Structure 1
Amino acid sequence: MSRAARLLATAVVATMTAAVAPAATAHAAATTSTTAATDDSFYTYDGSAPLASYAPGAVLKERTLQYHVLGVPTPLKVIQLLYRSVDAQGRPVANVTSVVRSLTGQSGKAVSYQSFYDSLDPADSPSRAIAGDVTLGGVIPNAEALFLAPLLLEGYNVVIPDTEGQKADFAAGPEYGAATLDSIRAATSAADTGLTADTEFGLEGYSGGAIATDWAAAMAPAYAPEVNRRLVGFAEGGLLVDPAHNLKYVDGSLVWTGVIPMALIGVSRSFGIDLTPYLNSYGLQVYNATQHASIVGALGRYPGLTWKKMAKPQYANPDSVPAFVNAVNRINLGSAASPTVPGYIGQGDGGVFEGTFSNVSGIGTGDGVMVAGDVRALARQYCASGETLQYQQFDLLSHVGTAAAWAPLALGWLGDRFAGKAAPSNCGRIAAGNSLTPEAVTPGS
């Protein structure tokens, strides 16, 4: 293992441990942001021309600042760009990305690193942490500064988009993908980044970052073909594929149940739907308390929580809510296009170590929050489309444990793609997975 890979493995352990072991005393502050940048005018498009008049990826503003870690400036310089993108409903929006130059000054290769900041609060975004903000939910993008060292040591420029947009549309895969691809467009068109239309890119992300990575790879051929031509491949792990399955998988678990209300809020916010009429008084209490929560504050906050405990009796089955079914089907990767570049996907299947003991028929087991059968099914689907894919399942590792094992392997896999080596494939040896057929509305009780 290279020095960079060892550094990355150490960084992953530290970062993911911080993410899943929040102190109980922090729960009360989970919805509170202590930030100055939420009022930063840089994040607001204030031009005279309509935003829709700009092409996706067009640079609207630019600034250079020092890279901050937990509010402390470092000597590392970063260029932040406000650029035009689209939200989950295809409407024009302004978003921010951060570009960190290679330590060797190379311009020919870059990694678009998608953060797993997983938050319903825009104040927790990577760009705000980089600019010096300190929030509870921002502990993840602050700690992810550790991921930069191995990438920069390998000579990559690093582009870090705020994948959830400025409204923090948690789990809205299509918005994540557009934000990532338009971030690359912006980074390669801004003069001061040193990146050009000839710069090759790799995509990398774990967990929430894997959502953005996979959607970007899947959307690129149609949404950003000029970007797709420069992609050497994508490396991801701990992937959300079919959100309807994930909600049933984590139902009643000990740690990951906090993603249930977070996902409901993210779906509602992203697609402009109102799920509150389907919730009982307790469900509304949890829903309202989680409006601005991050994964740091939500994990372990509601042990044993289920959809049924939150819903009115006639909606005990979430599939009885048409608006919910419509929304989750729109973010099911099984219904999206297949990437046309090589990929490496890692997935754990030891979720019992993180308190998820579910094994529902048709869903099965996973890493504690992500469903292994869904990821296998998606991998096989990509293989069937002709993609060169390497899938690796870590049977005894949970979501956190898999991250530590996957990260140095992903770094090495990307390095080989940049070096021009043929991508490995194990398409003929991936075990069968789940059906990724869209959910159907089931009549309520």
Structure 2
Amino acid sequence: MRRIRQPSVRRFGVAILAAALAGLGHVPPAMAQPIYPIPDPDGFYWAPPDVGNFQPGDVIRSRPVAAVGFPGATAWQLLYRSTNSAGDPIAAVTTVLLPVGGGLNRPLVSYQPFINSLGLQCAPSHSLFDGGMQEAPALNVLLARGWAVAVPDHFGPTSAYGAARLGGRLTLDGIRAVKRFPPADLADSPVGMAGYSSGAMATGFAAALAPEYAPELPIVGVAQGGVPVSIGELAREVGQQPNRLFGLGFAAGIGLEREYPGQLTMERFLNPAGWALRAQVANACTTEIIDAGAYKDFDDVFTGSVFDADAAAIGVMHENSLANYPGIPRAPIYEWHGTDDEVDPWLAREVMGRYCAAGTPVLLDMIPGADHVAAIYAGAPRAFSYLSDRFAGLPAPSNC
């Protein structure tokens, strides 16, 4: 087995997220007992009893909020209707930032942050303004271009970390909500989407789902970087030896339990230390999760063969992996990776090749010598320039 480096938090990012997924298995629905987060005490986030009477993307309620950290901007939060992976109606939140001058049908960018948390207090609608979101200051660059920015809570109302397809659907319904919200004045705005690492998982799924799920949205370009396209492959490659970021993989297992109750559970594998870790991180944000699971491995928290995943577990991993999802984006894509990225860039290249063969313009940018964290800084300015050109109506470049 090749040696796995022990990187910084941001370097490995989502690469470890799949480490615990191979420990998920199928049990009868009555035995599955996901551990859910403590409900948000703010009643704004609560779904009304009649949430099913709304259409996906409909605004249920709204409120203005102080745009802390975004000088001159106006901020709103929208509770909107979406749908979970079981097909049930849910309510989710997106935050929209308007630049000086308001909406005026300006370009709209839906930005999906890279978040790795299980507690609802860690969601973007909170972390945008309380200092918890590392990349939040960079959104001022987009606002300075005169663009509106929407930031969805793309893990949903149970903070289902790891459920990437859900994230894509929440992203698209969040865009719908912003465009249907009259005070934003963005009904006729062209749309771009952007995200890195776990945020790119939601972005990538939104792009792939859009042709069938939200064909009415005028998505002109997508910028996504460091995308983990196959959770299953990561599960096989990562997490079999002590790693500082083991807790993130464990947390992803908890998140998928929440989104697929009755289909997935870690219960039949957990030893007493595993039960304790599960309880410790169930409402935690990224740093707490990393600290709690630091340098653990499967043998520390599981009993039995954690790689004995059955068809249900494999099916869920495939459902949340772009490498297995057959949908083809129609919007042009800028995809960037470091050549030394711990999230396998060559798997992403294969997915982009499939998109190219189907006729989607793809600009694949492999940044020489960059690992997962270095690629963020190298690719983000190029990503924003790429979206600027799409908003300007320039032909999308492609190196298919």
Task: Report TM bin, short chain.
Answer: 0.7 to 0.9
Q: How far 1:16 moved relative to its partner?
A: 5.2
Letter paired with 2:221: G
Deviation at 1:204, TM superposition (A): 0.5
Q: 1:292 aligns with which of 280, 283, 288?
A: 283
Give the aligned residue type for 2:89: P
Call closer, same or farther: CA 1:248–1:347 in 2, change over 3 Å: same
Q: Would the aligned equivalents of 1:98 and 1:159 in 2 still touch at CA under 8 Å? A: yes
Deviation at 1:287, TM superposition (A): 2.8
- Rounded to whole Å, the distance in 2 between the matches of 1:101 and 1:57 is 19
Equivalent in 183, 187, 191 of residue 178 of structure 2: 187
- What are structure 2's unaligned runs of at least 5 residues? 1-8, 15-36
1:247 pairs with 2:235: yes
Deviations 1:146-201 (CA, angstroms, capped at 9, x unpaired):
122110111111111111111101111121011111111111111111111x2100
Correspondence for 1:386 among 359, 367, 371: 359
Structure with the higher helix share, 1 or 2: 1
Structure 2 CA distance, aligned partners of 1:165 and 1:102? 26
Matched, 1:166 2:134: no
| CA deviation vs aligned residue, 1:65-90 (integer Å, no higher than 9, x gap) | 21135xxx965320111110012222
Shift of 1:374: 1.9
- Distance in 2 between residues matched to 1:205 and 1:58, nearest whole Å: 24
User: Which segment is superposed worse, 38-47 or 156-165?
Assistant: 38-47
Give the number of aligned pairs. Answer: 364
How many angstroms apart in 1 are the aligned matches of 2:116 and 2:317?
A: 17
Query: Which structure 2 residues correspond to residues 151-300 of structure 1 after superposition, within 5 A?
Result: 151-196=142-187, 198-227=188-217, 230-251=218-239, 252=241, 254-272=243-261, 273-299=264-290
Corresponding residue number in structure 2 for 1:97: 94
Task: State the TM-score, normalized to the length of structure 1.
Answer: 0.76
Query: What is the aligned partner in structure 1 of residue 329 from structure 2?
Result: 339
Q: Does 1:57 align with 2:62?
A: no
The CA deviation at 1:210 is 0.4
Q: CA deviation at 1:298?
A: 3.1
Contact 2:277 2:292 in 1 (8 A): no
Aligned counterpart, 1:46:
48
Preserved CA contact (<8 Å) 1:85 1:93:
yes
Distance 1:239 1:411 in 2: 17
Partner of 2:135: 144
Equivalent residue for 1:81? Answer: 78
- 1-structure distance, mates of 2:242, 2:387: 34
Given the alignment of the two structures, is residue 413 of structure 1 paired with residue 386 of structure 2, yes or no?
yes
Are 2:302 and 1:311 equivalent residues in the alignment? yes
Q: CA deviation at 1:301?
A: 5.0
Structure 2: distance between partners of 1:281 and 1:325: 25
- Give the partner amino acid of 1:139: G
Q: Do the aligned partners of 2:230 and 2:324 also contact (CA within 8 Å) in 1?
A: no
Cα deviations by residue, 1:250-290 (Å, 9 ceiling, x for unpaired)? 31364432222011111111111322112233333333332
Q: Distance in 2 between matches of 1:376 and 1:168?
A: 29
- CA displacement at 1:241 relative to structure 2: 1.1
CA contact (8 A) 1:257 1:300 kept: no
Cα separation, partners in 2 of 1:78 and 1:342, compared to 1, 3 Å: same
Q: Answer yes or no: is 1:373 the counterpart of 2:346.
A: yes
Q: Is the 8 Å Cα contact of residues 118 and 285 (structure 2) preserved in structure 1?
A: yes
Select which of 329, 332, 349 maps to 2:318. 329
Deviates more, 1:171-180 or 1:285-294: 285-294
What is the deviation of 1:64?
0.9
Is the Cα–Cα contact under 8 Å of residues 345 and 390 in structure 1 kept in the other structure?
yes
Q: In structure 2, what is the Cα distance between the partners aligned to 1:322 and 1:288?
A: 27
TM-score with structure 2 length normalisation?
0.84
Considering Cα pairs closer than 8 Å and 6+ residues apart, tell me whether 1 or 2 has the greater RCO. Answer: 2
Taking every aligned residue pair, what percent have the same amino acid on both sides? 31
> For 1:119, which of 117, 120, 124 is the aligned residue?
117
- The code of the aligned residue for 2:220 comes to V
SS state of the match for residue 201, structure 2?
helix
